[in-house]
Amino acid sequence: MDAPPLCPECDAVVYIPVDAMENELLACAECGSELEIMCLRPLELALAPEVEEDWGE
């Protein structure tokens, strides 16, 4: 059984919806960090980039 995914900020277990997709954004229930699913297999989470100049434009 795979180890549960952990928040890269606070190490809390992060719940991943069964229909999650790559690049989807999630929130850590414990520290509130916004996380991005970088890869589904193997699962890889990263802190989502903070809003910055030109972000999303």
The single residue among 4, 21, 34, 52 that binds another protein, judged by CB under 8 A, is: 34
Q: Does 49 interact with another protein (rule: CB under 8 A)?
A: no
- Check whether the bond before 42 is cis (ω within 30° of 0): yes
Size of interface with another protein, in residues (CB under 8 A): 11
Q: Which residues contact 22 (CB under 8 A, 6 or more apart)?
A: 37, 38, 39, 40
Considering only CA atoms, which of 52, 29, 8 is closest in space to residue 43?
8
Out of 4, 15, 31, 40, the only residue in the binding site for another protein (CB under 8 A) is 31
Selected range binding another protein among 14-22, 25-33, 37-45, rule: CB under 8 A: 25-33
